[in-house]
C-alpha cells in the first residue's frame, strides 16, 4: 500500500449558504494516481482548490505529511497545479514560463537552464524554449503547463480537468503520457475529471463524488465491478438499473421473477436497486433464457452492438459482439455474480 501524504479530515465548504462540500474525509498515498470523479457541481474542483490552498475550508483540516496546512497560502505549499485552461503567462515565452518557479527559488542560471531542458524533454517539447505561448497549439500549451508545474519537483501535482479543452485523439494520447510521466517521476497526482473513461484508464484510485459528498473510493476495478450505489453504477459506464426486492439473502426478485445472487445482509423484502452491466447480459435462444424480450433497436458501436430489448415491460440495454436483427424474440441469461444489489439512495 501507499504511505499517506495528504489527508482531508471532515472538510466542509459552502458558498453563499450553498453547501458544496460535506464532511469530506480522504487519504491520499505517496506516488498514488488519485482521480476525483463526478458530474459538474459535485465539489471535485473545490476539493482540489482546498488542497492547493486557493480556497479555505469552512471547517475540517488539510494534513500534508502529518502537518496541518489549513492556513498556508499556495506559495508556501510544496505542491503544484496544472490549471483547467493552463493559465500560462502570455507575456513570457516558454522558457520564462517554466523558469518562473525556479527564479523565485533564486536558483542559479545554469541550474535553471538544465532543469528547463530536462522538463521540456520529459513533455516531448525539446527546443521550444524561445516560443511565444500564443504561437503554440492547445496540446503544446497543455504540455508547457505540465512542465511548468513539474519543474518545481513537487511531491504532489494537482490537475484540474487538464485535458478538457483537447480533442478526443489528443486527449487519449495525453492520458497515456500523463500516466507515463507520473510513473516515471514517482510523485502523487491528484486528478479532477468528469470523464469516467479517463478516470478508469489512468487512476490507481478513483474517488466518486456527488453533491459534495464522497460516494465511493476504490480501484477502477472495484468501482466498475462493485459500485456501492446506483449513482456510481450509472456514472461509471452504462448500466441497467431496475427496481427489485431482496426477498432473503442470496435471493432477489425483479422483472417478475426470482434470481439467485451473491449479495446478503439486507432486510427481508427490502426494496433495492438491481444493477446489471449491459455486457453481462447474454443473449440466448428464447427457450433457454431467464427473461425474454423483443429487440427494439440495434446500433453498431465499433467493437460491439448495442441493443435495446423490450421484455417484461422493461427496456434492457445489452452489449454483444453478436447482432440479433430488430424484432427478433430473444432470451436473456444473467449469472448470479453479475447481479449487483444496492441499497436505494434516498432521493432528496
Partner 1 sequence: MKKHLMAYPYALWMLIFTIIPLALILVYSVITIDDAGIHFTLDHFRRVFEPIYLAVFWRSIKIATISTIICLILGYPMAMILASKNLSKKSILVVLFVIPMWMNFLARTYAWMTLLERNGLIATIIGYFGIQLPSLLYTENTVILGMVYNFLPFMVLPVYSVLVKIDKAVLEAAEDLGATPFIVFRRVIFPLSLPGVSSGIIMVFMPALTTFVISRLLGGAHFTLIGNLIEQQFLTTMDWGFGSALSVVLMLIIILSMGFAMRYEKENQGGGLW
Residues lying near partner 1 in the complex (CB under 8 A) are found at 52-54, 73-75, 80-81, 83-85, 87-92, 100-101, 104-105, 148-149, 152
Residue with Cβ nearer partner 1 (73 or 265): 73
What angle, rounded to 10 degrees, do the helices at 109-122 and 138-150 form?
130
Please say whether the beta carbons of 157 and 82 come within 8 A. Answer: yes
Shortest separation between residue 28's beta carbon and partner 1, angstroms:
18
Q: Which residue has the cell 496540446?
A: 139
* DSSP symbols for 246-258: EEETTEEEETTEE
What does the alpha-carbon distance between residue 67 and residue 46 come to, in Å, rounded to a whole number? Answer: 21
What angle, rounded to 10 degrees, do the helices at 109-122 and 94-104 form?
130
Please say whether the beta carbons of 97 and 89 come within 8 A. Answer: yes
Residue with Cβ nearer partner 1 (149 or 214): 149
Shortest separation between residue 193's beta carbon and partner 1, angstroms:
17
Residue with Cβ nearer partner 1 (154 or 311): 154
* DSSP symbols for 251-312: EEEETTEEEE-S---PPTTEEEEEEE-GGGPEEE-GGG-SEEEEEEEEEE-SSSEEEEEEET
Please say whether the beta carbons of 139 and 147 come within 8 A. Answer: no
Using CA atoms, how far residue 128 sits from 14, 52, 133, 175, in Å, is 42, 28, 10, 22
Residue with Cβ nearer partner 1 (89 or 176): 89
Shortest separation between residue 37's beta carbon and partner 1, angstroms:
22
Shortest separation between residue 105's beta carbon and partner 1, angstroms:
7
Residue with Cβ nearer partner 1 (107 or 217): 107
H/E stretch holding 13 reads strand 4-15
* Residue 117, Cβ density class (10 Å: 0-12 exposed, 13-18 middle, ≥19 buried): middle
Residue with Cβ nearer partner 1 (51 or 166): 51
- Cell numbers placing 273: 436497486
Shortest separation between residue 113's beta carbon and partner 1, angstroms:
18
Cα 323 to chain centroid, rounded: 31
> Within 155-254, where are the H helices?
168-185, 196-202, 220-225, 230-235
Residue with Cβ nearer partner 1 (149 or 230): 149
Shortest separation between residue 134's beta carbon and partner 1, angstroms:
8
What does the alpha-carbon distance between residue 145 and residue 164 come to, in Å, rounded to a whole number? Answer: 14
Shortest separation between residue 89's beta carbon and partner 1, angstroms:
6
Shortest separation between residue 249's beta carbon and partner 1, angstroms:
52
Residue with Cβ nearer partner 1 (34 or 48): 48
Residue with Cβ nearer partner 1 (116 or 261): 116
Shortest separation between residue 326's beta carbon and partner 1, angstroms:
50
Amino acid at each position: 500500500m501507499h504511505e499517506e501524504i495528504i489527508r482531508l479530515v471532515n472538510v466542509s465548504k459552502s458558498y453563499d449558504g450553498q453547501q458544496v462540500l460535506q464532511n469530506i474525509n480522504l487519504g491520499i498515498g505517496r506516488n498514488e494516481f488519485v482521480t476525483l470523479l463526478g458530474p459538474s457541481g459535485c465539489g471535485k474542483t473545490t476539493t482540489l482548490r482546498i488542497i492547493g490552498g486557493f480556497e479555505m475550508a469552512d471547517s475540517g483540516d488539510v494534513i500534508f505529511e502529518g502537518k496541518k496546512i489549513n492556513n498556508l497560502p499556495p506559495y508556501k505549499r510544496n505542491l503544484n497545479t496544472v490549471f483547467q485552461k493552463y493559465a500560462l503567462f502570455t507575456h513570457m515565452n516558454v522558457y520564462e514560463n517554466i523558469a518562473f518557479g525556479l527564479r523565485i527559488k533564486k536558483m542559479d542560471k545554469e541550474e535553471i537552464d538544465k532543469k528547463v531542458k530536462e522538463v521540456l524533454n520529459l513533455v516531448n517539447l525539446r527546443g521550444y524554449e524561445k516560443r511565444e505561448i500564443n504561437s503554440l497549439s492547445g496540446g503544446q500549451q497543455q504540455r508547457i503547463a505540465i512542465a511548468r508545474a513539474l519543474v518545481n519537483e513537487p511531491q504532489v501535482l494537482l490537475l484540474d480537468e487538464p485535458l478538457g479543452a483537447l480533442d478526443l485523439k489528443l486527449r487519449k494520447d495525453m492520458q497515456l503520457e500523463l500516466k507515463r510521466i507520473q510513473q516515471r517521476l514517482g510523485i502523487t497526482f491528484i486528478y479532477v475529471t468528469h470523464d469516467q473513461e479517463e478516470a478508469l484508464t489512468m487512476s490507481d484510485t478513483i474517488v466518486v463524488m456527488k453533491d459534495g459528498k464522497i460516494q465511493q473510493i476504490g480501484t477502477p476495478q472495484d468501482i466498475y465491478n462493485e459500485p456501492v450505489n446506483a449513482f456510481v453504477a450509472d456514472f461509471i459506464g452504462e448500466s441497467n438499473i431496475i427496481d427489485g426486492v431482496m426477498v432473503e439473502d442470496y435471493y432477489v426478485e425483479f422483472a417478475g421473477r426470482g434470481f439467485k445472487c451473491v449479495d446478503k445482509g439486507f432486510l427481508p423484502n427490502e426494496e433495492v436497486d438491481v444493477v446489471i452491466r449491459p455486457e453481462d447480459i447474454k443473449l440466448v435462444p428464447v427457450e433457454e433464457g431467464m427473461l425474454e424480450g423483443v429487440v427494439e433497436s440495434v446500433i453498431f458501436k465499433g467493437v460491439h452492438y448495442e441493443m435495446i430489448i423490450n421484455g417484461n415491460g422493461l427496456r434492457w440495454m445489452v452489449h454483444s459482439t453478436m447482432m440479433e436483427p430488430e424484432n427478433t424474440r430473444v432470451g436473456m441469461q444473467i449469472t448470479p455474480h453479475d447481479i449487483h444489489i444496492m441499497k436505494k439512495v434516498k432521493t432528496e
